[in-house]
Chain A
Amino acid sequence: MSAETEPYIELKDVVFSRGDRRIFDGVSLRIPRGRVTAIMGPSGTGKTTLLRLMGGQLRPDSGRVTVAGESVPDLGRKALYRLRQKMGMLFQSGALFTDLSVFENVAFPIRVHTRLPEDMVRDIVLMKLEAVGLRGARELMPAQLSGGMTRRVALARSIALDPELVMYDEPFAGQDPIAMGVLVKLVRDLNHAMGITSVLVSHDVPECLSISHYACIVSDGRVIGDGTPDELRNHPSEKVQQFLKGHPDGPVPFHYPAAGAGEDWGIAGEQQ
Chain B
Amino acid sequence: MTAETIDDAIAAVEADFALFSDWEERFTYLIDLGRQMAPLADHERTDAAKVRGCASQVWLVSEARDGRLHFRGESDAFLVKGLIAVLLQVFSGRTPAEILSVEPKALAARLGLSDALTAQRSNGLHSMMERIRREAAHATP
Task: Answer yes or no: are A and B bound together in one complex.
Answer: no
Residues of A bordering B, CB below 8 Å:
none
